[in-house]
Amino acid sequence: MVLNIVPLLLYAQQDTAQVKMRELIANNFLFATRQYKLLIRNVPPEVMPKTYDVQKNKVIASDIKWWCSGFYPGTLLYLYEYSRDTAIMTEAVKRLSILEKEKTYTGNHDLGFMMYCSFGNAYRLTGNALYKAVIMTSAGSLATRYRPSVKAIQSWDASTNFKCPVIIDNMMNLELLEWAGHNGGDKRFEEIAANHANTTLRNHFRPNYSCYHVVDYDPASGQVIKKRTWQGYSDSSSWSRGQSWALYGYTMMYRFTKNKTYLQQAKQVADFILNNRNMPADKVPAWDFDAPDQPEQPKDASAAAIMASALLELGQYTYGKEKTRYINVAEKMLRSLSSSKYRAAYGSNGGFLLMHSTGALPFKSEVDVPLTYADYYFLEALLRYQKWYL
């Protein structure tokens, strides 16, 4: 009988931990549903929420061409998925209706963020064929930015700073192309996504598997001109959210392609993040892993939310100690983000969920504020944990 005590204790501890995570997830969605009903009242009908100015006590909004425009309806859809609150769904449908016309936008690479985080979730939850049609049109629009000479999707238009810039964030937009190609769209979408992922893997990463933010290419020859940052501390530093985009992007590409090169890349990026000497105990990193004077640098809760969601998916494709490590770190991130240190009090923060994100510190833009995509990936990670690990 004595020999059975340890296993029984382990099972009891595991069960207790699962109960606590169920409670944490339920608490977060109850809070988020109430909090977002406040945000709904604070946002004019023809724009999307972006952040919150605490000094002015005002929600800062963006037009629908802003790269973050899909996160608000996407977050509402995640809230509806958990709560089935019809008032939340009504608001999501309203916001989708004003966003739909951006399906033909070709001004930058952000159609995945804009149209897949919104209409992708809408189609997944409703099966509405009109939403699928929007996704397909959006994928076609994104594909117009593919540059065969570079074998990548050009992120921004040419400027005095860049000729053909490709940023690590662009890995996230490949989900739109992959989904469309796998669900009745042009198979060329999948080819473009794979080519872009391969070019990025070849040119964006350093030997330690950290990544540059921007790689600029010669549009004629396809050769690399320079490797820089736009939002990080320096050209050679590891901008935290950029590392999270890389982790999420290659994990997602493995989901669609089952190409083990992408899985290996995701695991190596994860190792860089998790082993980083500047990753704090609460697993919510500063805005750049290499910025000096840590831990005094501003945090980026959005980076942690994205990392948590990506690590939970990476746990689906790994085994043993490796899998356990990814899940445990993601859980730590979610517990930290759910604490009063990062999650706003009800009625505060303009209606946003998370505090202490950093958008673009070098430009003194969105520093230590709520950001719409931090909320989106936070709820996504909570739903993934519930679906896969409870």
What residues does each domain of the chain span? Answer: 15-44+258-390
Give 388's pLDDT tier (boundaries 50, 70, 90): very high
Cα dihedral: 78, 377, 40, 336 (round 10):
110
Mean pLDDT of the chain, nearest integer:
96
What pLDDT score does 11 carry? 52
For residue 309, what are the contacts with CB-CB under 8 A and spacing of at least 6? 248, 330, 377, 380, 381, 384
pLDDT at 97 over 50: yes
Span 73-79, mean pLDDT?
A: 98
Span 252-257, mean pLDDT?
A: 98
Identified catalytic residue from 15, 63, 110, 282: 110
* 110 carries an active-site annotation: yes
17-21, 55-59, 218-222: lowest mean pLDDT where? 17-21
Please confirm whether the linkage preceding 45 is cis (ω < 30° from 0). no
What pLDDT score does 1 carry? 40
pLDDT at 9 over 90: no
* 169 carries an active-site annotation: yes
pLDDT at 377 over 70: yes
pLDDT at 238 over 80: yes
87, 43 contact by CB (below 8 A): no
Residue 339: phi and psi, rounded to 5, are -80, 165
Which residue, among 241, 258, 96, has the nearest Cα to 178 in the 3D structure?
A: 258
Identified catalytic residue from 169, 216, 290, 375: 169
pLDDT at 254 over 90: yes
Span 301-320, mean pLDDT?
A: 98
Could you report the per-residue pLDDT of 133-154, keeping only the tens digit for each? 999 999 999 999 999 999 999 9
Span 22-48, mean pLDDT?
A: 96
Which residue, among 130, 40, 50, has the nearest Cα to 92 in the 3D structure?
A: 40
> Does domain 15-44+258-390 sit in CATH 1.50.10.10?
yes
Going by the DSSP 8-state scheme, the letter that residue 215 receives in this structure is E
